[in-house]
Structure formats: structure tokens, C-alpha cells
């Protein structure tokens, strides 16, 4: 694993890899109302997508964080691999969850250490918008599609979302930093290049969030 392929800026990485940062991120989903709403919406969409997909043999969750979605994902597969760039997040996840039918790995989502088509389903939530360049965001997508045999479930910050359009006004008028976004049509194009078709794509929220949450299936397996 190389520094070039670390998934975020160094300050964010240091915080994410620290015990304090990992515990704080975990606590956010207990204590912050908007985090609880987001978690509820994400779970609802995951149940919707798994109703289409059915149960699979293997799932890779990268980045897994502290294992917020681990039990839900494990209920839909025989083998769950929980992977994250942060040693601390992986350790926290493993400490808090049953290890039966689960594997824990330190890995970058920009150079995933698994062979092509090695997992039935690959899931990546809330990473794309942390990647600083378009090149890295697209590399992330291609890596997900490379290691997925059947399905990919992924989030990204949509360039055409209301939240991003409002942010663009603030960029022009107040000098705010632009969001790290992807165009929805570009995501679909990359998926198609990798042999996948978008089955569904839903905004996390129409107002207040620019994130899209989408399901892709390999052509011929839909």
C-alpha cells in the first residue's frame, strides 16, 4: 500500500486512524440527529437493494469504519470482509462484532488487495466525497467494479444535487471550497466500461444531502 493511494488528505487520515477520531466517528451515529436520519435512510435503501439482489456468498465492505452496517450486511451473505485504511477502525469493528463468518483487513479502496471478481458484492459508503481529485474518485469506482463479481453498491456526492448547486453559488460568491463531486452520467459511463449496469440510484435526501446511493449489476447477471 502506498502513500499515493491513501484515500484522504493527511490531516483527515491521521484523525481517522487515531483512537479518539475513530471513537468520535462512532459516537456521532449515536448522538447526532442528522447522522441517525442518514443511517436510517441508508439502511432502508440497502434493504430495498438486497430485495433485488437476494443473499450472496460474499460481501466486501470498504471502508467498513467501526462496523455500523456490519450486522445488516452479514445477514445477507455467508462471508463478510470488513476492510478499512484505518487500523483503528478495523480493530474497533472487530472488537465490537462477532468474528464468525467475517474477515477483517486493512486496505485502501484505491488499490484493493483482492483479485478481479473476488467478491459477489462490493459496497463502499461515504468515501468518494473525501477523495480530493476526479482521478482518485474515478479510480475508486474502477477498483470496486474490478473486484466485484456480480454487484456494487456505492455512494458519491452528486454534481447535479441541490446541495451542490447551492454550494457552487457559495463558491462563486463567498470563495467557499468546492465539493468533491461526480456527475451521475460519468458514474454510469465508468460502470458500463467495467461491464456493469445501473439498476437503481436514489438520493439519500432531496434536501440537505447531495449523496447518491446506487446499485449496479454486472451485465448478464441482472
Mean pLDDT across 9-22: 72
pLDDT tens, residue by residue, 134-160 = 999 999 999 999 999 999 999 999 999
Residue 77 has a pLDDT of 97
Residue 3 has a pLDDT of 47
pLDDT of 19 over the 90 cut: no
Bridge-based pairing state of the strands 102-106 and 119-124: unpaired
Query: Could you tell me the residue range of the domain that residue 181 belongs to?
Result: 3-218
Mean pLDDT across 76-100: 93
How many domains would you assign to the chain? 1
CATH number for 13: 3.40.50.150
CA-to-CA distance for 167 and 60, rounded, in angstroms? Answer: 33
pLDDT tens, residue by residue, 151-198 = 999 999 999 999 999 999 999 999 899 999 999 999 999 999 999 999
Cell triple for 182: 461526480
| 12/191: higher pLDDT | 191
Cα angle for residues 201, 202, 204 (degrees, 5° grid)? 140
Mean pLDDT across 118-140: 96
Amino acid at each position: 500500500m502506498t502513500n499515493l493511494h491513501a484515500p484522504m488528505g493527511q490531516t483527515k487520515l491521521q484523525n481517522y486512524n487515531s483512537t479518539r477520531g475513530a471513537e468520535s466517528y462512532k459516537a456521532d451515529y449515536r448522538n447526532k440527529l442528522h447522522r441517525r436520519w442518514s443511517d436510517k435512510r441508508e439502511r432502508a435503501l440497502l434493504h430495498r437493494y438486497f430485495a433485488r439482489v437476494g443473499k450472496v456468498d460474499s460481501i466486501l465492505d470498504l471502508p467498513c469504519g467501526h462496523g455500523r452496517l456490519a450486522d445488516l450486511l452479514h445477514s445477507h451473505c455467508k462471508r463478510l470482509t470488513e476492510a478499512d485504511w484505518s487500523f483503528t477502525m478495523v480493530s474497533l469493528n472487530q472488537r465490537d462484532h462477532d468474528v464468525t463468518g467475517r474477515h477483517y483487513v486493512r486496505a485502501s479502496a484505491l488499490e484493493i488487495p483482492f483479485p478481479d471478481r473476488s467478491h459477489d458484492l462490493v459496497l463502499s459508503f461515504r468515501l468518494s466525497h473525501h477523495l480530493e481529485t476526479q482521478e482518485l474518485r474515478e479510480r475508486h469506482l474502477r477498483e470496486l467494479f474490478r473486484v466485484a463479481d456480480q454487484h456494487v453498491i456505492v455512494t458519491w456526492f452528486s454534481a447535479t444535487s441541490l446541495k451542490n448547486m447551492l454550494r457552487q453559488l457559495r463558491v462563486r460568491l463567498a470563495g467557499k471550497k468546492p465539493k468533491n463531486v461526480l456527475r451521475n452520467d460519468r458514474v454510469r459511463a465508468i460502470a458500463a466500461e467495467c461491464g456493469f449496469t445501473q439498476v437503481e440510484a436514489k438520493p439519500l435526501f432531496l434536501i440537505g444531502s447531495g449523496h447518491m446511493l446506487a446499485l449496479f449489476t454486472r451485465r448478464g447477471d441482472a
